[in-house]
Amino acid sequence: MRNDNKLPKLSRIGIGCWAFGGGEYWGDQNQKDVDAVVRRAAEKGLNVFDTARMYNNGASEISLGKALKGLRDKAFVISKVSPAKAYRKTLREECEISLRNLGMDYLDMYMMHWPINPLGIKHFTEDPEIIARPPSTEEAFAALEELKKEGKIRHIGVSNYGIKQLKEAVSFCPGIVVNEMPYNIISRAIEAEIMPYCVEQGIEIISSMTLQQGVLAGIYKTADDVPLHQAHSRHFSQERGKGVSRHHEAGAEKEVFQTVALLRELSAELGVSVAQLSVAWVLTNPRIACALIGSRSEKELDDNIRAMELKLPAGVVEKINRASSGVLEKLGNNPDYYQNSKESRIY
């Protein structure tokens, strides 16, 4: 059954807030820069701000809340709850903590951060009690429906859900309106099945990892340049992310950086940045409702905003598609880029 639960209009690009508040993964983040990014985004009509309880242990939510003071009516704020916290009681408690962190009395959207399955649970907790007796999908989405009826959340979404998991979730919660999934030039797994299914069901797609953590911004010329703690997806060899990677696969480094080299050539020809080209490519896909991009400063944000005005020639899009098809062939149609492809959290 098609979902007709209407969302407000989302901006074509949104602000990924993982780095806000600073933390081990992304390093320090100045609050003044966060304030400036959020203010400029609101001025330019960007309304989607995506955070989560796990981002820097709540510091991202706190930082975003500070930056949105006086701008709440211009923002569509998304936060997420861990599947390990999806029992009715703990999910409600997590929502209250997120609201306090943000200094808000409602969330525009609350998402299940990952599907509720054994691998998804183990990624978020080592508690043997939770692993042995995890929350159920029915219990989690009933709690989300309660929060929606109470006005504490406006919309219900999911993140990183495959077709089977979406079907199960929708059977308990027909009002799911968004599936947030990784999607970019070198992460195209959802094109084959998940994207068409979401379109058929009226579930909007918000894309994450639009710049693949800087790889598609042209920051790195080779795999050797990528910080080791960021080189643990299946795009990279298991050996490169040793101690962090858990996929045990060969990766697709050659194909990835051949694609990046082409992006450098095309961006020079078009007179745009590699990041702008990469963002513009995602925005050529009408099935993406909003593309999330992390911006550490106003300068980065302005660069990303200009990508919305960039109309890529069909020939350029085709060149990028051909070049990146080698990565797609190597990594396949499994959008869980961090687990072994035969042991996915997404199905």
Complete DSSP assignment for 17-52: -TTTT-BTTTB---HHHHHHHHHHHHHTT--EEE--
Buried b (16+ CB within 10 A) or exposed e, 96-129: ebbbebbebebbbbbbbbbbbbebbbbbbeeeee
The fold adopted by the segment(s) 13-218+274-312 is TIM Barrel (3.20.20)
pLDDT (tens digit per residue) in 164-189: 999 999 999 999 999 999 999 999 99
Per-residue pLDDT band for 23 (boundaries 50, 70, 90) equals: confident
Contact 256, 327 (CB under 8 A): yes
Does 3 have pLDDT greater than 80? Answer: no
Distance (Å, whole) CA 331 – CA 345:
15
Contact 81, 156 (CB under 8 A): no
Which has the closest alpha carbon to 312: 287, 286, 276? 276
Res 17: pLDDT: 97
Domain edges within the chain: 13-218+274-312
pLDDT (tens digit per residue) in 72-87: 999 999 999 999 999 9
Mean residue pLDDT of the chain comes to 95
Does 94 have pLDDT greater than 90? Answer: yes
Average pLDDT over residues 191-205: 97
Structure tokens at 54: 């796990």
Tell me if residue 109 falls in helix, strand or coil.
strand
CA 93 from chain centre, in angstroms, equals 23
Res 242: pLDDT: 72
Contact 42, 74 (CB under 8 A): yes
Does 246 have pLDDT greater than 50? Answer: yes
Distance (Å, whole) CA 184 – CA 331:
13
Length of the chain: 347
| Position 338, amino acid | Y
Res 1: pLDDT: 45
Which has the closest alpha carbon to 183: 315, 78, 327? 327
Which has the closest alpha carbon to 73: 8, 20, 148? 8
Res 141: pLDDT: 98
Which has the closest alpha carbon to 74: 37, 110, 42? 42
Per-residue pLDDT band for 26 (boundaries 50, 70, 90) equals: confident
Which residue do the tokens 């590699």 mark? 274
Bridge partners of 178? 157, 204
Does 151 have pLDDT greater than 70? Answer: yes
CA angle 246, 244, 80 (to 5 degrees): 80
pLDDT (tens digit per residue) in 330-342: 999 999 999 999 9
Complete DSSP assignment for 122-174: HHH---HHHHHSPPPHHHHHHHHHHHHHTTSEEEEEEES--HHHHHHHHHH-T
Q: Return the percent helix, strand and coil in the chain, to nearest 5.
A: 45, 15, 40
Bridge partners of 81? 112
Does 135 have pLDDT greater than 90? Answer: yes
Instruction: Quote the percentage of the chain above a pLDDT of 70.
Output: 98
Does 2 have pLDDT greater than 60? Answer: no
Distance (Å, whole) CA 227 – CA 164:
34
Which residue do the tokens 């890529």 mark? 312
Tell me if residue 101 falls in helix, strand or coil.
helix
Contact 157, 177 (CB under 8 A): yes
Which residue do the tokens 């159920």 mark? 136
Does residue 340 or residue 229 have the better pLDDT? 340
